[in-house]
C-alpha cells in the first residue's frame, strides 16, 4: 500500500473510532457536515460474519470462539480517494458513513474538517464512556481480609 | 426408516397461527420490543449469542422473542440464520489481558495487581425475590462511581507464569481448526475442544463440571481468575493489510488453576483449564474451564476414567441443537417402523403360543 | 469506467452480489451438470487484464476467503491480485496443489492437471476446481464426451490448450471419485468438464 507506517497507525485509529461508535451519535455528527463530495460504491454495504478468535489459556494458540455479524462497505470519492469500513453489526448506514469518512480522512482537503467535527468528538465520547465504566467498576472494588481463626 | 406423509397443511397452518397467538399473549399487555429484551433480559441474550455462536444482540433478542423465551429454540434459530450469511474472515485473537474490566475476581489470591472488582454480580445477593421489581418504575439504589478508574490488571496466570509456577499454554497452530467447517475427528485438538465447549449447552457443561468436582475425574481447581469486560475485535482486511478494530464485544473469561504433581520431564507446577464466552456468562465460563482441564487428562498423563475426561462423550453430546434435534425427531411420524415392530411382536407371540404343547 | 489513478484503480465487482452470484452459480450448475454444453455466461462489466469478465464473474461468485486460489503466472499481476483480494478476500497460494480453485489465463502453458489437488478418498470433493480462460469454445479439434449428464454424446472443442491436455483429462477421469473439475470460460460462454466425463476420439 502507498501509506507510510505512521499513516497506517493514524488510519487504524480513525477507522476503529468510526466502527466502535454508536450509530446514532455518528449520524448526528454526520448531519453537521456540509458540502461533502460525491462518491460511488466500490462495494455496497454487505452483511456477513467474522469468526472471533480467542487464545487457549488466554495467551496460547488461537481457537475459534464464535462468529459476529459485520457489515463492510467500500466507496470511492469523486477525486479518487478510496474508503473502507468494517463495522460490527448489521447497519448498512453505519458502514457507509464510516467508509465515506475513511475516504474523506485521506483527502487533505477534508481531513481537518472531518477529523474535528466527526472523529475527534466520537473518540472523546468513546473514551468518556470507557472512563465512566471504569470508575463504576472501581467503586465495586473490594479488599478481602483473611481472618485468623481462633484456636480451641 | 422415514416415510413421507401427506396432508395436514391446513392443520399445520392453523397450529402456527395458534402459536403466534400464544406468543403474543393477551392483546392488552404491551408487546415486548427487541430493545427491552436486549436491555432487560441481557443474560438470556448473551447465552443465546454464546451457544448460538453469533455475537449480535438484536438477532439474539429476536430469536428469544420468536421462541417465547425458550433458549434452546432461540439458539437453533440463530444457528439457522447464521448459515445464510457469508463469512468474511477471522479476527486476530482477542487480547483478554487488555480488557476494559467491569468485573474481575480471583479466589486464589486476595491481593492482586488491579484488585478484586465485583462489578455487576449476583454473588452476595440474598436470593430473595424482590417484589419491588414487580412494580414498574420502582426506585433503584444509586450507582456510585469512584474518583478514578482501575489500575492495570494483569492476568493472574501471567503473574504465576512469570514466576515459572504454571504451565505455558503453547503456541498452537496459526490457523485453528473449525468444527463448523470440517468434521470432528478424534483425538480432537484443544482448539477444537474449546470451540466445541464455547458453543456447548450450558446445562450439559455445568453438569459435567460438577461431576468432575464430585470425584468423577480428579481435579483440584481454584478459580485463578474470572474477568468480564470489553475487548476490541481486530481484523486484517485483505485490502488494507493491517489490523483495524471492527467493534467492541463483552466477554467473560475464566482461568481455572489445578494442581499437577509433575512428571519425569516436568517439575511440579500448576496446570490450567480455560473458559471463554460472549457476554456475561460466568457460570458457563467456569464450567467450561473445568471441563477443558478434564479433557486434557490424556495429554497430562492422567488416567481417563470419568465422563468429563472422555473427548468423544463430551464433544459428541455437548451441542444442544444437535441433541435437541435427535431427541425431538422421535415425535415425527414413525408409523411404518412401528407397524413392522408390532407385526414382529405379534408373530413372536403367535409362534410362542403354537410352540406350547 | 473512467481511467483511474494507480492506487485507486480498483474496479467494482458485482453491483448486486447476491443476485449476480446466484446467476453465475446457475450457469456453473448448468455447465457442470451437462458437460460439454455451451452455456451463455453471466458476466461483470469489467475486469483487470488479463482476466476476462466471464472468468472474473466465475471467480467472484465461487471464491471467497475460505477457498485458496492459485493464479497462473500470466494472471498473477498486481491489478488482478488487488482485485481478487478486495472482492473475494481469498488467500492466494504458491502451489497449484494448495488451491481450492485455480485460474488459468494462459492455457498453452498451464501445468498438468495432476499438479493440482486431486482430493482424498475420504473427501474427494475437496479437489481443485480449475477455471480455464479460453478464446473460444468451438473451432478446436473437438472431443466427444460421454458420461453422466450427457444423453448420447457431446462435442466440446475448447481452443488454445496444450497438446497433452486430452491425455491429462483421460488420466484425470481414471481417478474418479477423486480428480479435477474443469470450467472453461470463453468471452461470452462457459462449458464444464467434470471428472465424471469420459473423453473419446
- pLDDT of residue C166 exceeding 80, the answer is yes
- pLDDT of residue A14 exceeding 90, the answer is yes
Rounded Cα distance, A22 and A84, in Å: 18
Instruction: Give chain B's end-to-end CA distance (angstroms, integer).
Output: 38
Q: Which chains sit next to B, with 3 or more Cβ pairs under 8 A?
A: A, C
Nearest to C10 among A2, A44, A82 (CB): A82
pLDDT band (50, 70, 90) for residue C6: very low
Q: What is the residue-wise DSSP string for B313-340?
A: HHHHH--HHHHHHHHHGGGS--HHHHHH
In angstroms, the separation between the Cα of residue C123 and the nearest Cα of chain A is 23
Residues in chain B closer than 8 A to A68 (CB atoms)? 54-56, 233, 247, 249
For B149-169, how does the pLDDT look when each residue is reduced to its tens digit (9 = 90+)?
A: 888 888 988 888 888 889 888
- pLDDT of residue B105 exceeding 80, the answer is yes
In angstroms, the separation between the Cα of residue A1 and the nearest Cα of chain B is 7
Rounded Cα distance, C194 and C124, in Å: 13
- pLDDT of residue C190 exceeding 50, the answer is yes
Q: What is the residue-wise DSSP string for C168-196?
A: HHHHHHHTTTS--EEEEE-SSEEEEE-TT
Give the residue from B289, B308, B290 showing the smallest Cα distance to B298. Answer: B308
CB contact under 8 A, C86 and A42: yes
In angstroms, the separation between the Cα of residue C133 and the nearest Cα of chain B is 25
Rounded Cα distance, C72 and C104, in Å: 5
Using alpha carbons only, give the angle C127, C131, C132 rounded to the nearest 5 degrees.
130
What are the boundaries of each domain within chain C? 11-199
At the topology level, CATH places domain C11-199 in Rossmann fold (3.40.50)
Q: For residues C35 and C194, is the Cβ–Cβ distance under 8 A?
A: yes
Cα A30 to Cα A35, A78, B1: the distances in Å are: 12, 19, 61
Residues in chain B closer than 8 A to C66 (CB atoms)? 87, 181
CB contact under 8 A, A42 and C12: yes
Q: Mean pLDDT: which of B35-39, B178-182, B336-340 is highest? A: B35-39
Give the residue from A109, A106, A99, A103 showing the smallest Cα distance to A71. Answer: A99
For B167-224, how does the pLDDT look when each residue is reduced to its tens digit (9 = 90+)?
A: 888 888 889 999 998 888 899 999 999 999 999 999 999 999 999 999 998 778 999 9
- pLDDT of residue A88 exceeding 50, the answer is yes
- pLDDT of residue B231 exceeding 90, the answer is yes
Rg (CA), chain B: 25
| From A35-39, A102-106, B131-135, the region with the lowest mean pLDDT | B131-135
In angstroms, the separation between the Cα of residue B186 and the nearest Cα of chain C is 15
How is residue B240 written as a grid cell?
488494507
Rounded Cα distance, C160 and C139, in Å: 10
Q: What is the pLDDT of residue C1?
A: 32
Q: Is A87 helix (H, G, I), strand (E, B) or coil?
A: strand
CB contact under 8 A, C89 and B88: yes
CB contact under 8 A, B238 and C85: yes
Nearest to C17 among A46, A76, A81 (CB): A46
Please give the tally of structural domains in chain A.
1
pLDDT band (50, 70, 90) for residue B139: confident
Q: What is the pLDDT of residue B26?
A: 96
How is residue C130 written as a grid cell?
480449475
Structural domain boundaries, residue A109: 7-137
Using alpha carbons only, give the angle B138, B139, B142 rounded to the nearest 5 degrees.
150
Q: What is the pLDDT of residue B4?
A: 64
Q: Which chains sit next to A, with 3 or more Cβ pairs under 8 A?
A: B, C
What does the pLDDT average to over B100-105?
A: 95
Rounded Cα distance, B330 and B338, in Å: 12
What does the pLDDT average to over C38-64?
A: 92
- Whose cell is 480517494? That residue is A81
DSSP collapsed to 3 states, B60-72: HHHHHHHCCCCHH
pLDDT band (50, 70, 90) for residue B7: confident
- Which residue in chain B is spatially nearest to A3 when comparing CA positions? B240
Q: Quote the mean pLDDT of chain C.
A: 90
CB contact under 8 A, B88 and A49: yes
- Paired with B276 in beta bridges are B253
Q: What is the pLDDT of residue A146?
A: 66
In angstroms, the separation between the Cα of residue A71 and the nearest Cα of chain B is 9
Nearest to B87 among A49, A131, A146 (CB): A49
Give the residue from C157, C51, C32 showing the smallest Cα distance to C103. Answer: C51
What does the pLDDT average to over B71-82?
A: 97
Taking any CB pair shorter than 8 Å as contact, residues of chain A touching chain C are: 1-2, 40-44, 46, 74, 76, 80-82
Q: Which residues contact B41 (CB under 8 A, 6 or more apart)?
A: B61, B64
Q: What is the residue-wise DSSP string for C127-155?
A: SPEEEEE-S-SSSS--EEEESTT-SS-EE
Q: What is the pLDDT of residue B135?
A: 84
- Whose cell is 471419485? That residue is C177
Residue A147 counted as domain residue: no
**Helix (H) / strand (E) containing A44:** strand A39-55
- Whose cell is 488487488? That residue is C82
- Report the percentage of chain B scoring pLDDT > 70: 98
Residue A100 counted as domain residue: yes
Mutate to test the interface with B, among A140, A144, A148 (most CBs of B within 10 A): A140
Nearest to A52 among B94, B116, B255 (CB): B94
ipTM value for the complex: 0.93
Rounded Cα distance, B351 and B345, in Å: 10
CB contact under 8 A, C12 and A41: yes
For C130-149, how does the pLDDT look when each residue is reduced to its tens digit (9 = 90+)?
A: 999 999 888 666 889 999 99
- Which residue in chain A is spatially nearest to C2 when comparing CA positions? A80
For A64-79, how does the pLDDT look when each residue is reduced to its tens digit (9 = 90+)?
A: 999 999 999 999 999 8
How is residue A62 written as a grid cell?
488461537
CB contact under 8 A, A134 and B150: yes
Amino acid at each position: 500500500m502507498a501509506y507510510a507506517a505512521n499513516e497506517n497507525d493514524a488510519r487504524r485509529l480513525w477507522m476503529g473510532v468510526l466502527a466502535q461508535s454508536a450509530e446514532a451519535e455518528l449520524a448526528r455528527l454526520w448531519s453537521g457536515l456540509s458540502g461533502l463530495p460525491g462518491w460511488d460504491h466500490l462495494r455496497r454495504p454487505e452483511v456477513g460474519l467474522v469468526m472471533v478468535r480467542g487464545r487457549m489459556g488466554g495467551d496460547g494458540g488461537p481457537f475459534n470462539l464464535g462468529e459476529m455479524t459485520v457489515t463492510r462497505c467500500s466507496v470511492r470519492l469523486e477525486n479518487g480517494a478510496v474508503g473502507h469500513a468494517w463495522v460490527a453489526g448489521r447497519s448498512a448506514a453505519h458502514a457507509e458513513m464510516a467508509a465515506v469518512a475513511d475516504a474523506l480522512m485521506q483527502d487533505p482537503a477534508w481531513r481537518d474538517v472531518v477529523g474535528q467535527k466527526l472523529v475527534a468528538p466520537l473518540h472523546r465520547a468513546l473514551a468518556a464512556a470507557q472512563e465512566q465504566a471504569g470508575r463504576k467498576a472501581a467503586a465495586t472494588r473490594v479488599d478481602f481480609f483473611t481472618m485468623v481463626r481462633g484456636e480451641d | 426408516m422415514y416415510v413421507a406423509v401427506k396432508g395436514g397443511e391446513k392443520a399445520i397452518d392453523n397450529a402456527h397461527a395458534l402459536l403466534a397467538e400464544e406468543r403474543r399473549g393477551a392483546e392488552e399487555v404491551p408487546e415486548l420490543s427487541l430493545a427491552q429484551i436486549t436491555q432487560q433480559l441481557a443474560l438470556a441474550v448473551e447465552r443465546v449469542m454464546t451457544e448460538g455462536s453469533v455475537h449480535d444482540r438484536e438477532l439474539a433478542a429476536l430469536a428469544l422473542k420468536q421462541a417465547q423465551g425458550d433458549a434452546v429454540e432461540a439458539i437453533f434459530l440463530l444457528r439457522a440464520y447464521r448459515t445464510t450469511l457469508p463469512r468474511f474472515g477471522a479476527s486476530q485473537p482477542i487480547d483478554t489481558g487488555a480488557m476494559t474490566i467491569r468485573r474481575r475476581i480471583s479466589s486464589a489470591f486476595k491481593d492482586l495487581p488491579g484488585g478484586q472488582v465485583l462489578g455487576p454480580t449476583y454473588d452476595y445477593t440474598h436470593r430473595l425475590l424482590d417484589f419491588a421489581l414487580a412494580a414498574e418504575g420502582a426506585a433503584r439504589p444509586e450507582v456510585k462511581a469512584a474518583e478514578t478508574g482501575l489500575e492495570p490488571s494483569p492476568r493472574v496466570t501471567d503473574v504465576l507464569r512469570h514466576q515459572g509456577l504454571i504451565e505455558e499454554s503453547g503456541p498452537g497452530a496459526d490457523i485453528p481448526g473449525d468444527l463448523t467447517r470440517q468434521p470432528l475427528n478424534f483425538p480432537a485438538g484443544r482448539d477444537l475442544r474449546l470451540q466445541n465447549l464455547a458453543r456447548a449447552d450450558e446445562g450439559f457443561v455445568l453438569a459435567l463440571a460438577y461431576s468432575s468436582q464430585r470425584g468423577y475425574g480428579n481435579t483440584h481447581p481454584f478459580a485463578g481468575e474470572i474477568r468480564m469486560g470489553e475487548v476490541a475485535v481486530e481484523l486484517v482486511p485483505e485490502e488494507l493489510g493491517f489490523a483495524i478494530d471492527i467493534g467492541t464485544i463483552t466477554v467473560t473469561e475464566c482461568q481455572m488453576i489445578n494442581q499437577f504433581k509433575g512428571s519425569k520431564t516436568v517439575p511440579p507446577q500448576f496446570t490450567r483449564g480455560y473458559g471463554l464466552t460472549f457476554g456475561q456468562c460466568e457460570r458457563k465460563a467456569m464450567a467450561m474451564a473445568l471441563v477443558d482441564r478434564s479433557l486434557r487428562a490424556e495429554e497430562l498423563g492422567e488416567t481417563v476414567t470419568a465422563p468429563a475426561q472422555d473427548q468423544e462423550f463430551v464433544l459428541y453430546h455437548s451441542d444442544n441443537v444437535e441433541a435437541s434435534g435427535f431427541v425431538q425427531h422421535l415425535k415425527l411420524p414413525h408409523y411404518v417402523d412401528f407397524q413392522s415392530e408390532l407385526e414382529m411382536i405379534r408373530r413372536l407371540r403367535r409362534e410362542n403360543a403354537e410352540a406350547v404343547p | 469506467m473512467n481511467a483511474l489513478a494507480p492506487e485507486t484503480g480498483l474496479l467494482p465487482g458485482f453491483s448486486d452480489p447476491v443476485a449476480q452470484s446466484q446467476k453465475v452459480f446457475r450457469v456453473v450448475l448448468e455447465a457442470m451438470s451437462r458437460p460439454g454444453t455451451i452455456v451463455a455466461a453471466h458476466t461483470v462489466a469489467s475486469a483487470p487484464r488479463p482476466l476476462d469478465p466471464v472468468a472474473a464473474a466465475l471467480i467472484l461468485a465461487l471464491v471467497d476467503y475460505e477457498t485458496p486460489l492459485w493464479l497462473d503466472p500470466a494472471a498473477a499481476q498486481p491489478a488482478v491480485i488487488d482485485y481478487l483480494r478486495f472482492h473475494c478476500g481469498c488467500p492466494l497460494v504458491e502451489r497449484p496443489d494448495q488451491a481450492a480453485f485455480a485460474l488459468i489465463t494462459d492455457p498453452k502453458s498451464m501445468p498438468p492437471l495432476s499438479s493440482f489437488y486431486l482430493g482424498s478418498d475420504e473427501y474427494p470433493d475437496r479437489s481443485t476446481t480449475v477455471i480455464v480462460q479460453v478464446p473460444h469454445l468451438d473451432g478446436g479439434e473437438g472431443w466427444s464426451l460421454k458420461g453422466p449428464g450427457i444423453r448420447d454424446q457431446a462435442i466440446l472443442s475448447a481452443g488454445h490448450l496444450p497438446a497433452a491436455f486430452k491425455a491429462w483429462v483421460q488420466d484425470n477421469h481414471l481417478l474418479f471419485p477423486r480428480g479435477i473439475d474443469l470450467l472453461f470460460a470463453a468471452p461470452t460462454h462457459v462449458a464444464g468438464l467434470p471428472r465424471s466425463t469420459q473423453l473419446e476420439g
